[in-house]
Chains A and B, each alone.
Chain A
């Protein structure tokens, strides 16, 4: 997607996240924080020229994009270079990431790695863990907004 669209999605998801509690709504909190972070990551990657800013949407299948014909309201499946990433490292990006984005990815990966044990699986959450999740999300967001510079200030 385009940078402006990613920033809009980040704004929507971040607002939804504020209505959720990281402990009592842990599953949806984790997922929403992850999606918000991935949209901001895509905006930062496009802005840095690491990935291309194109009007296509990542599907559930790694590396496969739906390209919209907005006039006709139809979509074509296309395999192309990123484009948007679905998750950190998916699809892989060949060129090195700017340091601030790389560090944001470390924090975003903390959130992404919660999916299997706590969303798809039912491992108990240890006391206080949600504070670490919130810190990881905030670190990810702050770093990516910083990487976006003035574009990030609209958020």
Chain B
């Protein structure tokens, strides 16, 4: 997708996230992953690491070589998306304690991705 399309999607999802509280932590972690991935794709396209015809689905699914190239250009954004994705296993597909803290962490990481993409 184009950066403009990714930006519109990310902003819509962030608008939806604003309806939820930290008690909705499963939905917040997932929404942060979705919106964050759209911000992340803006970065990938802008830095020419990925063409607009190819979007990343998850940071975890990048190849080792792709991750090294992304880290060289956008290390903090990659780390932020990694953090959100790690929360999915523990708090959405798993039932570990600390869900509300996870929601706050996910929102913080999402803000880092948004800032890196340059809202």
Report A-chain residues with C-beta under 8 Å of the C-beta of B19: 19-20, 25
Q: How far is the CA of A122 from the CA of B34 in the complex (A)?
A: 13
Q: Specify the main secondary structure of chain B where it touches its partner.
A: helix
Q: How many residues of A contact B (CB 8 A)?
A: 34
| Residue pair B94, A68 in contact (C-beta under 8 Å) | yes
Q: How far is the CA of A53 from the CA of B55 in the complex (A)?
A: 35
Choose among B16, B20, B60 the residue that contacts A60 (Cβ–Cβ < 8 A).
Answer: B60
| Residue pair B31, A1 in contact (C-beta under 8 Å) | no
- A56 → B minimal CB distance (Å): 8
Q: Does any Cβ of A come within 8 Å of B8's Cβ?
A: yes
Choose among B17, B25, B55, B93 the residue that contacts A28 (Cβ–Cβ < 8 A).
Answer: B17
Q: How far is the CA of A106 from the CA of B73 in the complex (A)?
A: 43
Q: Does any Cβ of B come within 8 Å of A90's Cβ?
A: no
Binds B, one of A4-12, A96-104, A130-138, A143-151: A4-12
Report A-chain residues with C-beta under 8 Å of the C-beta of B55: 120
Choose among B30, B89, B95 the residue that contacts A31 (Cβ–Cβ < 8 A).
Answer: B30
Take A16-B24, A25-B16, A68-B96 as given contacts and tell me if A57 and B90 are in contact as well, using a CB distance cutoff of 8 Å. yes
Q: List 13 A-B contacts (CB under 8 A).
A: A1-B95, A9-B26, A9-B95, A19-B19, A20-B16, A27-B31, A31-B31, A59-B93, A60-B88, A66-B90, A75-B90, A119-B9, A120-B34
